[in-house]
Structures are given as structure tokens and as C-alpha cells.
Chains A and B, each alone.
Chain A
Amino acid sequence: MNASLSFRGASVTAVIVVLLTGVLAVGSLLPASSPVQVSPFIMTLAGKYLAYAMLALAVDLVWGFAGILTLGHAAFFALGGYAMGMYLVREIGARGVYGNADLPDFMVFLSWKSLPWYWWGSDHFPVALALMLVVPAALAGLFGWLAFRSRVSGVYLSIITQALTYALMLAFFQNGFGFGGNNGLTDFKDILGFDLHSSYTRAGMLFISGLILAGALLAGRYVVGGRFGSLLIAVRDAESRTRFLGYRPEQMKLLVWVFSAIIAAIGGALYVIQVGIINPGEFAPANSIEAVIWVAVGGRGTLSGAVIGAILVNLGKTLFTAWLPEMWLYGLGALFMATTLFLPQGLMGLMRHIPKKRPSEVTPEVTSPEGEEA
């Protein structure tokens, strides 16, 4: 498979995303009487899907191109979300339940007297943005530096990414940790002075999300498209050989890993603004696994596929939890099984020519549990 062909569609997808969000945003501003008015319900759904698409894109960058199966990317997503959530909670100010201008409600509720140090400055939007980018990037950097330097790979890496997000989930669940415990951060009022519940803010946010997603797609395409991308794929498919050729696989992996964490974090921030709640459940390992599944459904290593997979699977979830509240898990489970069995390259695989060789026909040479595909 010629990898460089596989994400040619990325720019097309980016354009489509921007156009679609633009249409939705304009549609939502039409009067309610108009037959083509887009309801706030659709708008919040669309916002959520776009945020999830960012997460899927981030997963695809590391899984599709660097061969790192991450089962913990929701950690970066949630950290970005919390950074934004902190700002949004501070924006409530004295309009909270207790009318306390300095402390968020949950701190008053737990009888805290002052803000913990790690909340300092969180009422300034630029600080929130910086936190949103720096914290996940720093965590990813540290984790990746340790892991790639020691050549932790394959399933070992997958499991410790899962352990990482699990540990963070447990930590954030604790009320003493200072982020609202299980209830998380919620009841946001506005962002930079714009009312979060007004249709104009919603339309604006959706369009901005569309732009950011398109930007991330193009940036991702730029990173993995050129010489660096070819090298990454070389690392994915034959790490040792690449190393013997004099390259430094761990540095390349680290770079794409941190880049991907930042994209996930931005997705998390967009998610919180549009969904209105962030709580430790977002760290759940199951969420990370689902993100991998979106990528698999859409088509691994294609960038566009990740976006399409995330949107389609979540659309399916929205519809099935409403139509078949008692049966939808069968549908979702069957979808995952069918995708892996019959669409090894996801939906994007359908659009391409028939693959030359079906991986399922390959008998394992040596059954080693290591992650990379042959």
C-alpha cells in the first residue's frame, strides 16, 4: 500500500468540514419558523462530533502512522477539557449558587477557603489556552520520552497508556484533588463574555470547531505527508531497520506523539465548551478504546477516515440509543466485529481499489504479542 496516497483526501475532507459547519452555523441562525432552521440540538450534537473527530484524528496520527496503539488518548483529551473547564468555571464568577466571586461552587461546597495554587490565573483565557496546550504536551512529552527511549512498544505501550489514563481517572475522581470530583466542572455560563446558550455563540463555536478541525487535518497531513511521514511509516513497519540506517526512531515517535496529544487536548477543550460538562468519566479507558474504534471504522492511517469514523459511529450511537434503547449495544458490538472482519481498512478502504492482499489470509509467522502489523 502506498501510504502517501492514503491521505490525499485530507484536504478535501478539510474543505467539506468547513463548508458543512458553515452551512449548519448559518442554518442555526435562521428564525425558528424557517423549515431549514438547524435546531440547537443538532448544533450541540455537531459540536460534540467535531470534538470527537479531533480525538480520532489524534489517535490516527500515532496509530496509523507511527504504529503506536494508544489506549489512553482520552487522557489528553480530558486534560485539555479540564483546562478549558477551569476557565469556564471561573467565568461564572459570582453568578454561582453561593454567589462567591472567587471560588467555584464545588470548592465552597467542600468548605475550601482559597483557591489551590494550580488554579491561579485560570480566570484568564490566555492562561487557560496555555494550560490546555502545555499540560497535555508536557505529560505526553515526559511519558513518551521515557517510553520511546526505553523502546517500550507494542502491547506493552498500549497497556501502560491505558494505565496512565486509568490512574488519572482515579485521581480526578477524588474530591480532594481539586477538580470537582465525580461531578466535574459544569453549569458554564459564558466564554469571553459571550453567552454559551445563545444561538450566535453556538453557531460561532461550531464554525470555529470546523476551522480548527480542518486546520488540524491539514497540519496532520503536513506532518505525516512529507519526508518525515515516510520515515514514520518506515519506523512503523520496520523500526530496527530504520534505526540501523542511522535515524532516531524514538525522536520521531516522540514528536508525533506530542503533536497528537496537543490535537487531542484542543479537541477536549472544544468538547467542553459545546457539551457543557467535563468530569473524570472522560478519562475512562473505555473512551480511549472507543476512539481507536472510530479510527478503525473510518480507516486507519488515512486521517480523513478518522474524522469520518468518529462522526459516523457517534451519529449511530445517538440514533440507536434513542431508537433502540435496549438493543443498541448489540448493534454497536456487531458493527465493531464486522468492521474488523470485513473492512480491515475501514470505510476508506472501500473507496480505494481492492487491496492486493487480505491481511486475514496471512498466517502468523511467529505468534508474538507485539503490536505492529507485518
Chain B
Amino acid sequence: MTTSPRFSRRDFTKFSLAASAAMLAGVKGAAAAPKGEPIRIGVLHSLSGTMAISETTLKDVILMLVELQNRKGGVLGRPLEAVVVDPASNWPLFAEKARQLLAVDKVASVFGCWTSVSRKSVLPVFEELNGILFYPVQYEGQECSRNVFYTGAAPNQQAIPAVDYLLSADGGGAKRFALIGTDYVYPRTTNQILQNYLKSKGIADADIMVNYTPFGQSDWQTIVSQLKAFGSAGKKTAVVSTINGDANVPFYKELGAQGITATDIPVMAFSVGEEELAGMDTKPLVGQLAAWNYFESIDSPANKSFIKEWHTYTKNPKRTTNDPMEASYIGFNLWVQAVEKVGSTDHDKVIDAMVGLKQANLTGGTAKVLPNHHITKPVYIGEIQDDGQFNVVWQTPKEVPGMAWSPYVAETKNLIGDWTKPINCGNYDTVKKACLGAKHG
């Protein structure tokens, strides 16, 4: 599967420019055309630098959603206008651009960030200026800010169910685990949580291997051979991969080259989705696993129509969809609902109106906003197919509520986040009955 070279971003830019020009000129759409001063929303995703590879798509999704919303009559009868900036994969620049969006462009909400550090970088700005950020990517948890809505998965909505599957008979009944990740906070925290969880499931320390590599690791020969040796202890071995971004392609290529197949040592990945597979030859990877809250291959009417809209919008019938795109979709629609509900874009009113809202997700379930600003999500395990898609082999019976603080980390096991009265605190200690430190995470 490859993205066709016929489609270029230039076309797409032209297209979106034309679309917004048409919108501004007041050309009537099918529904009642929105009128009045446009409501601005910010799009804070890297369009250049190392993260452009993942984040550009999310910018496109938000632009598409804005266009669809305007066709449906906008929000509060007013048109939406997306303000796109490029923070260029540079974390301090994220903070600068966030401040620009909030203070200069006065946006009603911001959709953005991918890496945790970019979120950490903009967090003080959002709290200072009381902005609203929708963060659409799975992350390590241990954070709960009043100004952020986390529509991606918390660890209990991805990592724990994934390991449960590997431990189960269907998943191969693994007894030995290699936790391989890129050396940054998300893998570190996820692996810390998983180690404690695995120990609680009776896995010995000697049967857990942890390995960290730098960003952009491209030579996996040694590590893959270490994996092979680790897997030769006579126990069924599985790999849990929190390898980030670009490093995945060479990792899977090396797995293929050294002849490790999913039936020998299955690899469960948390950061490999349809978009990453589009850049790989997936034949040697058939059967390797990924845990997400959405797969493009899931057969539901909502998903079908979303994919259709996406293909029409990008003019590319091969363009894939993925989990963070669904999270962006959910976040966007939740925000629209909240604004319509309170009849205003006032930040405080919208934030308070969010909790408890429900939005149909793309796979047939419902995303509900929880008091800790996380949402409920179904968890799916998919196996890679030779066509670059995932085949769902397992799913949770119902949606799992996201937990901001992990019960498997000693320091946070008593913490909860609750942004409703009377607690109104992001890190509330349920034993001490007190809000710790500053009121966020």
C-alpha cells in the first residue's frame, strides 16, 4: 500500500484555499449557510520537522471537519474558521504558537499536539490564558489539567488490555515479556505501569526485559538478536513495543530480515497504526499486533461514511485513517456540542459543559466525557494484514473509562482527577481528601 504520488499537498492546499474562499465569499451550501463573525479554532500540529510525518494528517482532519461543519450550518449559526500554524516540531515554538492562537487570534479552542513534550510545553500557556486544548493522541497519563481534554487513550485504555490479551490463550499465553521503547516519558511510564501490572499477574522479574533506544533509532540488528535470545528461554515470549514514530519501520524490517514472525514472537505495538503501515511492506509482518481504540477496518456505518468523506476531501481514495484521527473527530464534535449547549464559546462555560457530554464514536460505541477530562473508549486488538490494514481479533465488551492517574504507580494510586464540584481538582488525593500541589497535572 502506498500513497499515490498523484495526490499532492499542493492540490490539497489549493482545494482547501478554494473551499475557505468560497466560504468567506458566502457561497451558499446545501444547508443554511452560516452567517456572521466566524468562530476561530486553532490547529496546532507540526507541518515540518520530525513530527510532520504524523501530525500533518491531523491538521487535514480538522480542516475537513471544519468544512463539514460549515456545510451543516456552522456553529451557533456562525461559520468556523481554522487558524493553522506550524510549530515545526520545536517544543518551545509550540508554546509560542499556543500563546499566539490564544492571545492574538483569540481562538475558541485549539486542536493540537502529538508528543507529550509538546503538550507539556503548551500546558502552562493554556492554564495562564484559560484556553481549551483537545489532545488527540494516546499518552502516558499522570496528568489532568482543567484546560485540556484528552481524547486519546490513557494507559488503562490501551496498554493494560493489550497485555491482558497477550496473557490470554487467544493471544498465545505469553509468559515472558520484552518491553521495548524509545527513551522518553510515554514508554518509560507505560513500561513502569506494565511492569507492576505483569508482576501482579505472576510474571517474574527475570521474565521481563526492558530496553530503551534513542529517537530515530535506525539500526536494530543488535536489539532484535537480543530479543531472539530472550525468546529462547523455553517460554512463550511477547514483545510490547512503545517504539515511537520513524524508528518503527527499520525495527519491523529487521524483524522480518531476521525471520521473526508473529507466530514466533508476537509484537504488540502502541504507536503503529494504518498511517505507519502505509510506509511499509507488511507481508512479513502479518499477525503482528497493535492495540488502539479505532481501526480503519472496523465495519460500522459511521466509520464508512467518515472514510468516504476523508477520501473525497483529500481526493485520494487510498489515504488511510487512524486512531488519532478518530480522537480528533470525537474531540471536535464534543466541542461543537458543548458550544451549542451553552450557546457561547466562552471558555469557562464550555469547559464546564463538556463533562458528561456523549458523542458517538466511529466504531459504533459512545465516547462520554468524564469528570477527569478523559473519555470512554473501546479497546481493540488488531493483527496486521498483508494489505496494510488491521484485522480486529479482540475487543473489550464495552467502553473503558480513561484514568488520568495509574493505580499501578505507588505515588499516584490514590489520585483522581475530577473537574466537577465540589472537588474541582486535577490531582485529588482520595485518602488525604486534599487537592495536591497546584490544581492540575
B-contacting residues of A (Cβ < 8 Å)? Answer: 39-41, 44-45, 48, 92, 94-100, 106, 108-111, 170, 173-175, 181-184, 186-189, 197, 275-277, 279, 281-282, 318, 321-322, 325-326, 328-329
Find B91's partner among A45, A96, A279, A326 (CB 8 Å cutoff): A279
Contact (A95, B214) CB under 8 Å given A109-B142, A321-B88: no
Find A326's partner among B86, B189, B411, B437 (CB 8 Å cutoff): B86
Query: What is the CB-to-nearest-CB distance from A279 to chain B, in angstroms, rounded to a whole number?
Result: 6
Enumerate 12 A-B pairs (CB-CB under 8 Å) in ascending A order.
A97-B143, A98-B436, A100-B437, A109-B142, A175-B212, A183-B120, A275-B92, A277-B120, A321-B88, A322-B97, A325-B84, A325-B86
- Kindly list the 9 A-B residue pairs having the minimum CB-CB distance in the complex, ordered from nearest: A99-B436, A325-B86, A182-B184, A99-B437, A41-B103, A321-B86, A95-B438, A97-B441, A183-B117
Q: Are B96 and A97 in contact (CB under 8 A)?
A: no
Contact (A96, B438) CB under 8 Å given A39-B104, A111-B409, A173-B184: yes
Q: Are A40 and B103 in contact (CB under 8 A)?
A: yes
Query: What is the CB-to-nearest-CB distance from A55 to chain B, in angstroms, rounded to a whole number?
Result: 13
Q: Are B124 and A186 in contact (CB under 8 A)?
A: yes
Q: Are B97 and A175 in contact (CB under 8 A)?
A: no
Contacts of A188 in B (CB 8 A): 124
Query: What is the CB-to-nearest-CB distance from B89 to chain A, in angstroms, rounded to a whole number?
Result: 9
Query: What is the CB-to-nearest-CB distance from A48 to chain B, in angstroms, rounded to a whole number?
Result: 7
Within 8 A of A (CB), among B90-128: 90-93, 95-97, 99-100, 103-104, 115-117, 120-121, 123-125, 128
Closest to A196 in B: B124
Give Cα A275–Cα B99 distance, bound, in whole angstroms. Answer: 11
Closest to B186 in A: A182
Query: What is the CB-to-nearest-CB distance from B8 to chain A, in angstroms, rounded to a whole number?
Result: 11
Give Cα A281–Cα B215 distance, bound, in whole angstroms. Answer: 11
Contacts of B225 in A (CB 8 A): none
Query: What is the CB-to-nearest-CB distance from B275 to chain A, in angstroms, rounded to a whole number?
Result: 19
Query: What is the CB-to-nearest-CB distance from A172 to chain B, in angstroms, rounded to a whole number?
Result: 11
- Count the A-B residue pairs with Cβ separation under 8 angstroms: how many? 134
Q: Are A187 and B47 in contact (CB under 8 A)?
A: no
Q: Are B96 and A318 in contact (CB under 8 A)?
A: yes
Give Cα A29–Cα B436 distance, bound, in whole angstroms. Answer: 33
Contacts of B183 in A (CB 8 A): 173-175, 181-182
Q: Are B120 and A187 in contact (CB under 8 A)?
A: yes
Q: Are B214 and A44 in contact (CB under 8 A)?
A: no
Q: Are B92 and A325 in contact (CB under 8 A)?
A: no
Contact (A183, B99) CB under 8 Å given A277-B92, A329-B48: no
Q: Are A110 and B104 in contact (CB under 8 A)?
A: no
Q: Are B437 and A39 in contact (CB under 8 A)?
A: no
Q: A39-B104, A182-B115 are in contact. List 12 more A-B contacts (CB 8 A).
A: A98-B427, A109-B185, A111-B411, A175-B188, A175-B212, A183-B116, A197-B124, A197-B128, A276-B121, A326-B9, A326-B86, A329-B48
Q: Are A45 and B47 in contact (CB under 8 A)?
A: no
Within 8 A of A (CB), among B11-70: 13, 47-48
Q: Are A97 and B437 in contact (CB under 8 A)?
A: yes
Give Cα A44–Cα B128 distance, bound, in whole angstroms. Answer: 13
Find B97's partner among A110, A277, A282, A321 (CB 8 Å cutoff): A321
- Chain B: how many interface residues by the 8 Å CB criterion? 52
Closest to B438 in A: A95
Find A44's partner among B87, B88, B96, B436 (CB 8 Å cutoff): B96
Q: Are B188 and A326 in contact (CB under 8 A)?
A: no
Q: Are A186 and B120 in contact (CB under 8 A)?
A: yes
Closest to A177 in B: B183
Contacts of B128 in A (CB 8 A): 197
Give Cα A48–Cα B97 distance, bound, in whole angstroms. Answer: 13
Query: What is the CB-to-nearest-CB distance from B431 to chain A, in angstroms, rounded to a whole number?
Result: 13
Find A182's partner among B90, B185, B438 (CB 8 Å cutoff): B185
Q: Are A175 and B185 in contact (CB under 8 A)?
A: yes
**Does B410 sit within 8 A of A, measured CB to CB?**
yes
Query: What is the CB-to-nearest-CB distance from A167 to chain B, in angstroms, rounded to a whole number?
Result: 11
Find A276's partner among B95, B104, B409 (CB 8 Å cutoff): B95
Contacts of B436 in A (CB 8 A): 97-99
Most chain A C-beta atoms within 10 Å of own C-beta, residue among B48, B99, B188, B437 = B437
Contacts of B142 in A (CB 8 A): 97, 109
Find A322's partner among B100, B115, B212 (CB 8 Å cutoff): B100
Query: What is the CB-to-nearest-CB distance from A16 to chain B, in angstroms, rounded to a whole number?
Result: 24
Query: What is the CB-to-nearest-CB distance from A88 to chain B, in angstroms, rounded to a whole number?
Result: 11
Contact (A41, B437) CB under 8 Å given A181-B184, A328-B86: no
